[in-house]
Amino acid sequence: MNHTTSSPRMALRPLVLALGLLAAVPVVHADAATDGALAADHRGYKVQQDAVQALNDTGRHRLASYPLAKAQCWLDVSFHEYTRNDRSAFPQGALDASRQITDYLARGGAPGAAENPAQQTPLVNGALKLRDDLWAQAAALKTHPGWRCAEKLVACGEVELVHAGNEHRQQGWRHAKPYVQIAEDLIGDARLAAEACPALPVAVPAPAVPVAAKPVETPPPAPVVVSSPPVVHERIVLSANVLFAFDRRGLNDLLPEGRGQLDQLVARLDRVYARVDRLELVGHTDRLGTEVYNAKLSSDRASTVKAYLQQQGVQVDVLASGRGASEPLPHVTCAQRTQAALAQCLQPNRRVEISITGVPR
């Protein structure tokens, strides 16, 4: 993709806007350099967000349902790439995919019908189809007894797989990997949500009472036990080399790609979790350098990630700490003799681990 800026912004969160169905077809301008083109593009996104919100407010469609969630997620990835100055056909294609779903639902189309555009997941802009295993898991969840609790997560997971495939086709695996991880997390969370989904109560018709018979008093119904929503624990690992340049650790030192990955994390917290109870950030270094230096570097980097997340609006309890080189990854065994080769081999140990505790939507 042709990104012309080095400071990506956050993915669009659902907006609380005035209601109204789609009044005009949103169009992403190929060259949005002028103020007029920018304003027109943002109006187009607002129109489509209004369409999603209006369908939800009719009461016939839930934002957590598979079709409407898919429309929202297509809209989100379109706006995300638009704000990163992707001027390929992907933002418009994703926006069109969102609009086709809302148009169909607004005309009264049946959500579960085969002709519903949400039932298809087009490989927008010639995106590569990555991770057949995740596609198969998503398909299997659609027949799971707990599907109603996993619809939104599966819809967004499929969209993120297309997002990743577009990145891979345009810029290679390194740019696709964060979005593959998001898709894998979404579908994994969907599986947990489906398995924990409480069964719907089954209505049993009362037996007919003869007209002449004396009614029999029945005991009061047993109280309905409402299952508590499942609490999940998720771990995300970010490479320190993506977040910071060598020996850097401050807020102004965050690299553009690192900021982009943290922006994706913030958007994911909004999209995937109904409630986030806690975030824990732990910085790690490799074994090169002194113990005191590594402890300080890992702690500073974790604190910087915390400050950035809070700067982007994350308000949950965030704990940040550093463990230096005390917890190397077990699979990283390096015996290279030159300093450069050894540093390259030890790179996976230079990382920030993010642990999320919360309840998925």
pLDDT in tens, the chain (361 residues): 444 333 333 333 333 232 233 334 455 555 545 667 777 888 888 899 999 999 988 888 888 899 999 999 999 999 888 888 888 999 999 999 999 999 999 999 888 888 999 999 999 999 999 999 999 999 999 999 999 899 999 999 999 999 999 999 998 988 889 899 999 999 999 899 888 888 766 555 656 555 556 666 777 776 665 566 788 888 888 998 889 888 889 999 999 888 989 998 999 898 888 899 999 999 999 998 999 999 999 999 999 999 999 999 998 889 999 999 999 988 888 888 888 888 889 889 999 999 999 998 8
Estimate to the nearest angstrom the gap between the alpha carbon of 304 and the chain centroid.
Answer: 22
Q: CA of 151: how far to CAs of 221, 309, 323, in Å?
A: 32, 28, 39
Query: Is there a domain that residue 324 lies in?
Result: yes
Q: Are 159 and 109 in contact (CB under 8 A)?
A: no
pLDDT at 227: 61
Backbone CA torsion sign across 53, 57, 63, 69: negative
d(CA 223, CA 358): 28
d(CA 94, CA 105): 17
Q: Which two tokens stand for residue 297?
A: 């570097």
Query: Is there a domain that residue 101 lies in?
Result: no
Query: Is there a domain that residue 16 lies in?
Result: no
CA dihedral 82, 316, 232, 323 (to 10 degrees): 100
Q: Residue 263's domain is classified under what CATH number?
A: 3.30.1330.60
Q: From edge to edge, which strands make up the β-sheet containing 273-284?
A: 232-239, 351-360, 273-284, 317-322
Q: Which one-letter amino acid corresponds to residue 216?
A: V
DSSP state, 346? T
Backbone CA torsion sign across 36, 37, 38, 42: positive
pLDDT at 120: 92
**Exposed, middle or buried: residue 354 (CB in 10 Å: 0-12, 13-18, 19+)?**
buried
Query: Is there a domain that residue 265 lies in?
Result: yes
Task: Name the CA radius of gyration of the chain, rounded.
Answer: 24
pLDDT at 37: 75
Query: Is there a domain that residue 130 lies in?
Result: no
d(CA 43, CA 26): 8
- Phi and psi torsions of 6, nearest 5°: -110, 15
Query: Angle at Cα 62 formed by Cα 61 and Cα 67, nearest 5°?
Result: 70
Q: Are 316 and 266 in contact (CB under 8 A)?
A: no
pLDDT at 48: 92
d(CA 106, CA 226): 33
289: alpha, beta or left? (left if phi > 0; alpha if psi -120 to 50): left
d(CA 4, CA 19): 34
How many other β-carbons are positioned within 10 Å of the β-carbon of residue 198? 13
Q: What's the number of domains the chain is made of?
A: 1
Query: Is there a domain that residue 211 lies in?
Result: no
d(CA 217, CA 317): 53
Q: Which one-letter amino acid corresponds to residue 69?
A: A
Closest CA to 198 of 230, 220, 246, 160: 230
Q: Which two tokens stand for residue 11?
A: 């993915």
Backbone CA torsion sign across 113, 116, 118, 120: positive
pLDDT at 203: 52
Residue numbers of the domain that contains 239: 229-361
Closest CA to 63 of 122, 127, 151, 123: 151
pTM of the model: 0.53
d(CA 80, CA 78): 5
Relative to beta strand 273-284, strand 317-322 is parallel
**Residues 6 or more apart whose Cβ sits within 8 Å of residue 297:** 247, 249, 283, 285, 289, 322, 324
Query: Is there a domain that residue 358 lies in?
Result: yes
Query: Is there a domain that residue 168 lies in?
Result: no
